[in-house]
Amino acid sequence: MRISDKRYSRDLRRYSLAMRLIRHEARTQTIIAWSGLSMYRIRTLYRAYGSDRETPSVLRPRGRPPRQLSFFWRSARLASEAATLAGIARLLNVFPANPVRDTSEPLNSLQRGEGVCAAYELFHAYTRSSQVSIDHAFLLISALSRGDEVRLGHCVACEGLILVDCLKPAGQICAHCSTAVKKAL
């Protein structure tokens, strides 16, 4: 059997993405979905390379990855952090400016997974105490790629970047302007 360079580099990228996700404490289901590796391979990688980190007391979360976007609207801080992460991802072309209506293109490709990791790492470099996990980042980028639940927009009051809930009426304002309006009343 001949091993081609293209196949070898793709497999190497898969393992590299899986290791990045292990370092970011992603759930196993997220790693499976985005790297294309099996659960057995991921557990082997984690045992061989991921468990000897500097902080062995930190364990990856267990269970299903987050599925609801309502997490991002729990507080003003989360809403602004999510908009910041989405803005970084948009600048890095992780998701298209216009939503993907064609379902033949898979949303969880290897290239997009690497892009989400790059955007998350850049975001995390500036907001270290964020509650937004890598699993939440993948949820957000997938939703922004589809464009049916959430999209990027601007606050009608201050023109700041916000996540616009597609199910709410037009003319949404950011959490900070909303707080200022409530204080004024």
CA-to-CA dists, residue 63 to 26, 27, 69, 108, 132, angstroms: 11, 7, 17, 20, 17
Measured at the CA of 38, the angle between CA 57 and CA 29, to 5 degrees, comes to 55
Give SS3 for 63: coil
CA 137 to chain centre: 2
Rounded (10°) CA dihedral 91, 97, 101, 107: 0
* pLDDT tens-digit map of 102-159: 655 566 788 999 999 999 999 999 988 899 999 999 999 999 998 888 999 888 888 8
CA 77 to chain centre: 17
* pLDDT tens-digit map of 22-71: 989 899 999 999 999 999 999 888 888 766 555 554 466 788 888 999 89
The mean pLDDT of 18-23, rounded to a whole number, is 92
**Residue corresponding to tokens 């600048």:** 91
At residue 9, the pLDDT reads 86
At residue 7, the pLDDT reads 78
At residue 117, the pLDDT reads 96
At residue 2, the pLDDT reads 59
Helix axes 134-146, 76-91, angle to 10 degrees: 70
At residue 46, the pLDDT reads 84
Are 79 and 73 a contacting pair, CB within 8 Å?
yes
Domain map (residue ranges) of the chain: 1-65, 71-185
Are 16 and 117 a contacting pair, CB within 8 Å?
no
